[in-house]
């Protein structure tokens, strides 16, 4: 690989080099003696929100924690507190006495450690941390354009992370069009810009363990750098510059999702932890809703079988039906349990599934799965991973039988796509087309919040 030029400044281990192209690979460096790497994994989660709630519970028991995302989100006992095998074994022993069978020691035998390797002017360098400071506005990373500077640094999962340092108003150019879509009405794009800005500022603690703030996927917000930016989104970002949603003087957890199914979810319908008073169920409709108690099965079924009168009506994701055979459900559930550190995977077949608790927004709070080896309970957000069929937790079940009255599986009948908390993106399309301003759209989905210009004291510290 040829490296020449003067556009990229590389800084590492006290050295500064200049080049215009650099290629990194990860190479193993053999250890003199194999090492064993251990950590205590306390719990496993589908989402950061539940990992954070779990971490608070562990901390209340006197166990300091770290939240990491090697695949699913995990809560680890803080490695610097449990830095020897005896301390880790004692912790596990104590947790078993408390009845916890999920926590476990993950052990990895290492014969080498990974190092970054790169070449400048024919000389090969190796290391673990490199800063790249471009001297121009746009830098290509694997052919994709980005603004700002970069750092390659090790992470808790044993690999490396490429971190982009980018001003928030530029970051939004890589988020807003990808999150709201290119066909959205202008006020919906403006609403998305405010939410993306607010969400980013309120969620900078997600990857504290690895010394960065946000990821670039739907676990945070989709961020594609300067790839496929949109003039309309750029305008919306510019015209809402610095505008954020606040509650009690702090930026809010500005959640949004694709489609709510006709009613947004309360924060605690999906996740444990501190309630957000501004994230309460809102009927996603401009007409006064019928008086329905969606926590009851009969009213809920009536609601899901209503197609008209909603902001999202007509979208493919608004209402759906999906059949899942017992075999498919068994496979998905076993995979889910295995990835969750749950050892109850030795059942041979699911025998029956039922919904045992539903929230006021109609979301399934708890499901019970009967197997030949006992009953397994799955709650809230985890339901979306435990069963293949549901696109959301807004559904009911219809058992399906063959002619001999033998249970074949279940039809999941529901609505929405995603968690359903906060703004409905598809709902905002309709409201925008009806002439609603972005201020009105935001006030509709986030009751009790204030739209104002960012001030330093609004950025909450976790």
Task: Name the minimum Å distance from CB 25 to another protein.
Answer: 5
- Can you say whether residue 85 is alpha, beta or left, with left for phi > 0 and alpha for psi between -120 and 50 degrees? alpha
**Residues linked to residue 431 through DSSP beta bridges, in sequence order:** none
Nearer to another protein, 174 or 420 (CB): 174
Secondary structure (3-state) at 252: coil
Q: Which two tokens stand for residue 311?
A: 């902001």
Task: Name the minimum Å distance from CB 178 to another protein.
Answer: 13
Q: In this structure, what are the phi and psi dihedrals at residue 54, rounded to the nearest 5 degrees?
A: -65, -45
Round to whole Å and give the CA distance between 311 and 308: 9
- Can you say whether residue 273 is alpha, beta or left, with left for phi > 0 and alpha for psi between -120 and 50 degrees? left
Radius of gyration (Cα) for the chain, nearest Å?
25
Q: What is the DSSP string of 338-354?
A: HHTT--------EEEEE
Task: Name the minimum Å distance from CB 75 to another protein.
Answer: 18
Task: Name the minimum Å distance from CB 159 to another protein.
Answer: 4
Task: Name the minimum Å distance from CB 5 to another protein.
Answer: 7
Nearer to another protein, 21 or 354 (CB): 21
Task: Name the minimum Å distance from CB 331 to another protein.
Answer: 21
Nearer to another protein, 21 or 101 (CB): 21
Nearer to another protein, 189 or 214 (CB): 214
Secondary structure (3-state) at 57: helix
Angle formed by the axes of helices 438-445 and 186-202, to 10°? 50
Nearer to another protein, 66 or 391 (CB): 66
DSSP state of 195: H
CA atoms 90, 96, 99, 105: torsion sign? positive
End-to-end CA distance of the chain: 44
Nearer to another protein, 157 or 437 (CB): 157
Nearer to another protein, 217 or 307 (CB): 217
Q: Nearest-CA neighbor of 255 among 239, 232, 271?
A: 271
Nearer to another protein, 106 or 297 (CB): 106
Q: Which two tokens stand for residue 129?
A: 């941390």
Round to whole Å and give the CA distance between 305 and 183: 28
Q: In this structure, what are the phi and psi dihedrals at residue 197, rounded to the nearest 5 degrees?
A: -65, -45
Task: Name the minimum Å distance from CB 221 to another protein.
Answer: 9
Nearer to another protein, 119 or 286 (CB): 119
Task: Name the minimum Å distance from CB 128 to another protein.
Answer: 11
Task: Name the minimum Å distance from CB 151 to another protein.
Answer: 8
Nearer to another protein, 207 or 396 (CB): 207
Round to whole Å and give the CA distance between 364 and 378: 10
Task: Name the minimum Å distance from CB 73 to another protein.
Answer: 13
Round to whole Å and give the CA distance between 300 and 358: 9
Contact criterion met (CB below 8 Å) for 359 and 266: yes
Round to whole Å and give the CA distance between 284 and 308: 11
């Amino acid at each position: 690989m040829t490296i020449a030029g003067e556009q990229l400044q590389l800084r590492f281990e006290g050295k500064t080099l200049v080049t215009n192209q650099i290629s990194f690979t990860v190479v193993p460096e053999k250890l003199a003696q194999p090492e064993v790497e251990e950590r205590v994994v306390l719990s496993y989660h589908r989402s950061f929100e539940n990992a954070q709630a779990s971490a608070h519970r562990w901390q209340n028991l006197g166990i300091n924690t770290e939240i990491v995302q090697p695949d699913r989100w995990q809560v680890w006992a803080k490695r610097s507190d449990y830095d020897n095998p005896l301390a880790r074994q004692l912790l596990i022993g104590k947790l078993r006495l408390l009845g916890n069978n999920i926590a476990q020691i993950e052990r990895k035998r290492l014969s080498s450690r990974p190092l970054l390797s790169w070449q400048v002017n024919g000389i090969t360098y190796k290391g673990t941390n490199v800063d790249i400071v471009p001297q121009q506005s746009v830098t290509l990373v694997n052919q994709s354009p980005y603004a700002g500077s970069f750092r390659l640094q090790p992470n808790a999962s044993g690999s490396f992370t490429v971190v982009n340092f980018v001003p928030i108003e530029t970051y939004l150019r890589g988020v807003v069009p990808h999150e709201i879509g290119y066909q959205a009405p202008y006020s919906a794009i403006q609403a998305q810009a405010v939410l993306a800005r607010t969400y980013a500022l309120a969620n900078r603690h997600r990857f504290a363990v690895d010394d960065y703030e946000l990821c670039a996927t739907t676990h945070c917000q989709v961020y594609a750098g300067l790839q496929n930016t949109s003039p309309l989104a750029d305008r919306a970002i510019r015209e809402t510059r610095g505008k954020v949603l606040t509650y009690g003087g702090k930026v809010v957890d500005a959640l949004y999702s694709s489609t709510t199914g006709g009613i947004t979810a309360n924060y605690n319908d999906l996740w444990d932890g501190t309630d957000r008073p501004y994230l309460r169920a809102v009927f996603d409709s401009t007409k006064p809703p019928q008086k329905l108690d969606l926590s009851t099965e009969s009213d809920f079924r009536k609601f899901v079988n209503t197609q008209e009168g909603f902001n999202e009506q007509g979208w493919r994701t608004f209402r759906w039906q999906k059949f899942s055979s017992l075999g498919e459900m068994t496979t998905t559930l076993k995979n889910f349990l295995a990835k969750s550190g749950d050892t109850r995977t030795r059942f041979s077949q699911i025998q029956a599934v039922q919904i045992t608790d539903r929230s006021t927004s109609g979301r399934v709070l708890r499901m019970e799965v009967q197997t030949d080896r006992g009953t397994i309970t799955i709650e809230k957000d985890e339901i979306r991973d435990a069963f293949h069929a549901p696109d959301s937790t807004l559904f009911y079940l219809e058992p399906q039988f063959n002619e001999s009255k033998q249970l074949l599986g279940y039809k999941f009948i529901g609505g929405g796509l995603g968690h359903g908390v906060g703004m409905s993106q598809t709902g905002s399309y309709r409201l925008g087309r009806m002439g609603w301003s972005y201020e009105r759209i935001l006030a509709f989905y986030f009751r009790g919040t204030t739209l104002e210009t960012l001030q330093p004291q609004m950025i909450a510290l976790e």
